[in-house]
Structure 1
């Protein structure tokens, strides 16, 4: 198991603090950027938006397995409906 990085940082009176460079690199942050802070009973966790999206996609994946995209399903339904309407229109013209 990989040992987690631990650093002690100074927090200024206004709440500002510096995220150490090795930790920024570990998060894939280059230069300025935004992070998500999550506080729970164990403390505060810092993550990037990309990490959060990856986690959300992983949580949602079991519900989307074997399904087409919702947009593709919608378009297929509309095409089928249009084909049925076209068939009804051509049948009506024969009478």
Structure 2
């Protein structure tokens, strides 16, 4: 679903009520903003944790499961 939102002169934007309700932030809450080469991703904190856990599982299965190996593989995957 794509919806257009406006940003006020002071940088605030409002997410449509139906999106806030689906995300569970209808009464207020926190979203994590991730800037990517393709645009911006908004995630709830729970979604961000699940995303990070998925990345950790992906890299933890590799034979060299050190922090240095994780960071090097993450850097390769992200193109940084």
Q: TM-score band, normalised by the shorter chain?
A: 0.5 to 0.7
TM-score (norm 1): 0.56
Q: Which residue of 2 aligns with 1:61?
A: 57
Take 2:9 and 2:35, find their aligned partners in 1: how far apart are those partners? 20
User: 1:21, CA displacement in angstroms?
Assistant: 0.9
5+ residue gaps, structure 2, are 62-80
Q: Over alpha carbons, which structure has the higher Rg?
A: 1
TM-score (norm 2): 0.64
User: 1:22, CA displacement in angstroms?
Assistant: 1.2
Question: Is the helix fraction higher in 1 or 2?
Answer: 1
Q: Which has the higher contact order (CA 8 A, sep 6+)?
A: 2
User: 1:20, CA displacement in angstroms?
Assistant: 0.6
Q: Which residue of 2 aligns with 1:11?
A: 7
User: 1:26, CA displacement in angstroms?
Assistant: 2.3
Q: How does 1:1-95 map to 2 (within 5 A)?
A: 5-62=1-58, 63=60
What is the root-mean-square deviation in Å for CA atoms of aligned residues? Answer: 1.6
Question: Is the strand fraction higher in 1 or 2?
Answer: 2
Q: Which residue of 2 aligns with 1:67?
A: none
Runs of 4+ with deviation above 4 angstroms = none
